[in-house]
Amino acid sequence: MKRSPIFGWLRRTPKDSKPASSPKEQPGEKVSQPGSPSRKHEQALQAARAAWGKTAGGAQSPNGNLGPAVTPEQKHIKTEAAKPEVPLPSKAAVSRDWNAIRRPLLWSGLLLVLVTTASLGFFASWVRGLDISKLEHPLPEPSFVMDAGGQPVSQLSSSRIIPVPLTDIPADLKNAVIAVEDRRFYEHAGFDLWSIGRALVRDLQSGSLKEGGSTITQQLAKNLFLDSDKTLSRKVKELGYAIRINFAYSKDEILELYLNSIYYGEGRWGVEGAAQQYFGKPVKELTLAESAVLAGLPKAPTLYSPVKNPDKALERRNLVLSLMKEQGFITESTYAKTVEQRITLKPNNGESLKGQYPSFVDYVMDEAERLYGFTEQQVLTLGLRIHTTMDVKVQQAAEEVYRTDALFPAGPGDRPVQSGVVVLDHRTGSIRAIVGARGDQVYRGFNRATKLKRQPGSSFKPLAVFGPALERGYNSDSWLYDGELDIGGYRPKNWDGQTRGQVSLREAVLRSWNIPPVWLLNEIGVDAGMEYVRRAGITLPAADRNLALALGGLSEGVSPLQMAQAYGGIANQGVMQRAHAITRITTKDGQPLIEASQQPTTLTAPVHAYTLTQLLQEAVAFGTGKAAALDGRPTAGKTGTTQLPATPEFASIAGNGAKDAWFVGYTPELTAAIWLGYDKTDRNHYLTTSGGAVPSQLFREIMTRALAGVPVTPFPVPEEVLLAAQQAHQARQAARHNAGRDDGKDDKPQREEKKDREEKKDKKKDKKEDDDD
């Protein structure tokens, strides 16, 4: 039987098989004769077999030699001396050799199959176990902070992605991306063997892993789950994730995820952000030429940037167009027309609302969490529309002032004098502006306008002393003690070191003396002051229940926001409105989630608030707050300055420096509180100004800008005050009338006497005329 040329050697030979003997003559068959060429060949073959048998340890033959036995017919053959020839193995010997290696080969092949199968099984199991749940959730959508007029003023997001559905992405852009990145995208199973093979060849030629060969699915996997290292292990992971994603999502879903998450340069992820960045329009409005520019960017966003390298960007765009033509996405004529177009960039006018007004936005975040239960992650990812009370004009006025270094004291150089301001509409409690720092403001950084706690100094006197005193019968002209004072060891001093025996309450406010309000608080009781402060929205610890309360000597201090809200109660005729920044929160589609509500509370009676406003107007017009006065606009307010600590560190500069400086004031429209100082006060960092200087000037600058164009109005007068004034006027009129009537009675004799004289005069005149006649 003829053996198979390939697998014949694998056939098993029986163990008892023996070498074949010489062929015998058969009928009709001629046997070769000695001396013939065939005979010589037979002789040589026999000799070789004999030699092989000897070498192989064959058995003793009948003729006494090792090797195969010789037949009688062969005995007479004379063996010629032959040249040495390469011995040829017998078929049986060949079988024995193959038998020796056949089993290892079979087992090796079987083992290879098993290992390959196991590896594929392990790989498949590993792929099935890969966690791609990150793709199951919608891409995070940015939330927007809206101003009081409903316009977006700031963007909040945990990423730089603005996701758009695939239906909003032009077909030209989708085709361009497929043409340049993954032409067999809709055909392969997440990886492309042709691309991998091509990349492998190039890698072998270069001697390193330079070519990616990555499909769109692989790029998506790398962007979301892996790093960018070009290592073999990372490529294997990339392949596994791509396969997993391919079997879990449709091709359109994968393409949408890819287009919304890939980096396009200039700090932009996703096609919507890229379209806005480069062309100033939404992605759905892109032209073919613009789509080709964006499609060419992901490979090397900086190299092909139309901003940084316009020539390279043009070359790359035209390559994309060429590939689109080659793959049938566009016609020859469309290609010819489009490649002639220049790349025209349009500045993004909405250049990132992200990062605008950080101090105000910081407080909006706090309020959303504190009052309405949103987490920071929810605010950053749910695409909310947070409507606020911000007045952009007022906010920009405050920020402009805070950017003007000339308005602030010069520090030692290593760190600036810091400050914070809150401006609100006291009629509603609406916060119009917040600036929490000078210089660069860090997102979610320390906001000195809302989080700082410092002693307010004399700016606390209207809340802790004068307000409650008016409620207890004192008035502007009441006399207060101003002499040496020692109450339980507490010995306040006036800022000028002088005493005047006694001063009116009006003068105590005007000149910001210290002894009179301490004496007055002691008279009305510390609890009265604590209660008034509590009604003003400031909760103090029990440690502050002492006479130092009169001068703002608090254990923890207050923030500008708290002071603005408290003074707003005075400005609003004694009605407290809670300071707030959020009015409502909706979804991006306008569905309401939160509607803020206000619950006004009473601080004091309108008549007392009005009296306090008159006192504070005089403090600005004639007292320590003159620098805060606005031209032609009613202004009320109070300064505050706290001294350096009485410690050895400041002993040599005592009386020549301050720790904190304040001004809190209001107009009929707005209330503002300003703090000035260092974050950390030491011998090299302390103030050489007071509340009546820089903070008052800052108030004037901010209010002048914020109220530009707003009609001037007076402070409202309470009905009770108007009624009292009307009654007083009527009383004066009645008194005047009564006085006139009494005078008439007294003048009667005189009028009669005058009448008699005039009558006598007339008679004389008539007599003279008669005589003349």
Residue finishing a domain among 280, 307, 339: 339
In this prediction, residue 753 carries a pLDDT of 62
- 462 inside domain: no
Q: What angle do CA 156, 450, 511 make, to 5 degrees?
A: 150
Where in the sequence is the domain holding 391, given as residue range(s)?
Answer: 354-453+560-591+626-639+661-729
- The mean pLDDT of 662-682, rounded to a whole number, is 97
What φ, ψ does residue 745 adopt, rounded to 5°?
A: -65, -40
471-505: per-residue pLDDT in tens? 999 999 999 999 999 999 999 999 999 999 999 99
82-111: per-residue pLDDT in tens? 555 656 666 666 666 666 777 777 777 777
- 419 inside domain: yes
In this prediction, residue 86 carries a pLDDT of 58
- 321 inside domain: yes
Say how many domains are in the chain. 2
Q: Give whichever of 199-203, 301-305, 610-614 has the largest mean pLDDT.
A: 610-614
In this prediction, residue 34 carries a pLDDT of 43
Residue finishing a domain among 310, 339, 368: 339
Kindly give, in sequence order, each residue whose CB lies less than 8 Å from that of residue 558, ignoring residues fewer than 6 positions away: 453, 454, 455, 456, 460, 538
In a shared domain, residues 235 and 322:
yes
What φ, ψ does residue 300 adopt, rounded to 5°?
A: -155, 85
Ranges 65-79, 309-323, 562-576: which has the least confidence: 65-79
Tokens 């254990």, residue located: 555
Which of 678, 570, 697 shows the shortest CA–CA distance to 627?
Answer: 697
Which of 221, 229, 216 shows the shortest CA–CA distance to 185?
Answer: 216
Give yes or no for residue 712 having a pLDDT over 90: yes
717-745: per-residue pLDDT in tens? 998 888 877 887 788 888 877 776 555 55
Ranges 27-36, 325-334, 359-368, 446-455: which has the least confidence: 27-36
In this prediction, residue 574 carries a pLDDT of 97
Alpha carbons 343 and 334: distance in angstroms, whole number: 16
Beta strands, E only, 461-545: 479-482, 501-504
253-280: per-residue pLDDT in tens? 999 999 998 889 887 889 998 999 899 9
453-471: per-residue pLDDT in tens? 999 999 999 999 999 999 9
| pLDDT tier for residue 513 given thresholds of 50, 70 and 90 | very high
Alpha carbons 220 and 471: distance in angstroms, whole number: 70
136-150: per-residue pLDDT in tens? 766 778 899 999 999
In this prediction, residue 514 carries a pLDDT of 97
- 481 inside domain: no
What φ, ψ does residue 707 adopt, rounded to 5°?
A: -100, 10
CATH code of 300's domain: 1.10.3810.10
In a shared domain, residues 310 and 371:
no
Surface-to-core class of residue 489, CB atoms within 10 Å of its CB (0-12 exposed, 13-18 middle, 19+ buried): exposed
Alpha carbons 429 and 670: distance in angstroms, whole number: 10
Neighbours of 598 (CB within 10 A): 12
21-71: per-residue pLDDT in tens? 444 444 444 444 444 445 555 665 566 555 544 444 444 444 444 444 555
- 439 inside domain: yes
Alpha carbons 303 and 458: distance in angstroms, whole number: 61
- Please report how many Cα atoms fall inside a 13 Å half-sphere around the Cα of residue 206, on the Cβ side: 11
178-207: per-residue pLDDT in tens? 999 999 999 988 777 776 666 566 656 555
Average pLDDT, the chain: 83
For the full predicted model, state whether its pTM sits above 0.75: no
Give yes or no for residue 78 having a pLDDT over 60: no
pLDDT above 90: percentage of residues in the chain: 55
Provide the residue type at 349 as one letter.
N
Q: For strands 385-388 and 143-146, give the pairing.
A: parallel
| pLDDT tier for residue 769 given thresholds of 50, 70 and 90 | very low
Catalytic residues: 181, 458
Q: State which H helix or E strand residue 693 sits in.
A: none
DSSP lists the bridge partners of residue 433 as 423
Which of 693, 697, 660, 657 shows the shortest CA–CA distance to 679?
Answer: 660
Which of 288, 378, 267 shows the shortest CA–CA distance to 333?
Answer: 288
Length of the chain: 773
In this prediction, residue 114 carries a pLDDT of 75
Tokens 């500008």, residue located: 560
Q: State which H helix or E strand residue 437 sits in.
A: none
In a shared domain, residues 574 and 711:
yes
In a shared domain, residues 316 and 366:
no
In a shared domain, residues 166 and 276:
yes
410-438: per-residue pLDDT in tens? 877 778 999 999 999 999 999 999 999 99
> What are 567's two structure tokens?
């003074």
- 585 inside domain: yes
In this prediction, residue 263 carries a pLDDT of 86
Please tell me which residue, 610 or 124, carries the higher pLDDT value: 610
